[in-house]
Amino acid sequence: MTDLATYNFAYLDEQTKRMIRRAILKAIAIPGYQVPFASREMPMPYGWGTGGVQVTAAIIGPQDVLKVIDQGADDTTNAVSIRAFFQKVANVAVTTHTKDATIIQTRHRIPEHKLAEDQILVYQVPIPEPLRFLEPRETETRKMHALEEYGLMHVKLYEDIARNGRISKTYAYPVKVAGRYVMDPSPTPKFDNPKMHRSEALQLFGAGREKRIYAVPPHTDVVSLDFEDYPFEIQTFDKPCALCGAENVYLDEVVLDDKGSRMFVCSDTDNCEDRREHGHVGAMLAPAKEAAE
């Protein structure tokens, strides 16, 4: 595909990129506001990150270094395919190291390594509307956003406490951005919500099927909704990562056999590998290492 007429850098044509960039600029200007945009068909099914891919395609340049994660992992199907896609259509450098990347496209996680101001985090969002399952009419939810009527969001949290004795929502936990718009942070675990608060990195959210883009500019307040007597809490884990011994990170549960044994490992694979390279050893890796020596 060297014919100029059929090739354009980063898959989308320039007019489409301009349209998406305009939507992104508007989204940055109004933190947390869902900007409609003319989402394009992408060479992958809806639900695979078409929104995130379009945002990435619109902002990526030849000098950028791209990292793609899926649930924190660099090596799952979704992450591998999207990374390969941009290698092919933009010929950009890719990495799995969080600190080397300039653009990180993510599905469901924020990397454990603190992001810096020259980095952009692009989220793939399935359902951008936080009020969707509370108020089915889109005309009404838009009005509620416009008039800042967010009582309903607390009704949902009230119900959680009434039924379960605590706020049981663990992912897509609603946040208020810059004291104005209530936003769905995409299905990230609520563990990651505090990382969004006054993050140095720019955060962009793309929902392809729903045709919405929204953003959290750097250093913006992102506050998780809660009650005075039931404050927001993040998940805690009893044990550290079984491979690298990391504490205070988000862990995935891995079932090992049909006899009930399981392990908890870092969800962020890059963070885990990095720690192991630096000599950190978790409980399950220690015996193997001793055996090798």
Q: How many CB atoms lie within 10 A of CB 116?
A: 13
Q: Quote the least distance from Cβ 160 to other proteins, whole Å.
A: 10
Nearest to 95 by CA among 274, 249, 215: 274
**Residue 232 binds other proteins (CB under 8 A):** no
Is residue 272 annotated as a catalytic residue, yes or no?
A: yes
Which of residues 9, 46, 158, 232 is near other proteins by CB under 8 A? 158
Question: From residue 212 to residue 231, what is the string marking binding to other proteins with x (rule CB under 8 A)?
Answer: --------------xxxxx-
Judge contact between 242 and 55, C-beta under 8 A: no
Is residue 32 annotated as a catalytic residue, yes or no?
A: yes
Judge contact between 11 and 41, C-beta under 8 A: no
Which of residues 30, 80, 93, 161 is near other proteins by CB under 8 A? 161
Nearest to 176 by CA among 133, 221, 211: 221
Residues 6+ apart with CB under 8 A from 39: 50, 51, 54, 207, 208, 209, 210, 211
Which of residues 1, 4, 162, 291 is near other proteins by CB under 8 A? 162
* CB closer to other proteins out of 163 and 259: 163
What is the SS3 string spanning 155-192? Answer: HHHHHHHHHHCCCCCCECCCEEECCCEEECCCCCEHHH
* CB closer to other proteins out of 4 and 147: 147
Task: Map the footprint of other proteins across residues 138-157, applying CB under 8 A.
Answer: 143, 147-149, 151-152, 154-156
* CB closer to other proteins out of 152 and 285: 152
Give the residue numbers annotated as catalytic, written as ranges: 32, 241, 244, 266, 272
> Which positions lie near other proteins, rule CB under 8 A?
143, 147-149, 151-152, 154-156, 158-159, 161-163, 226-230
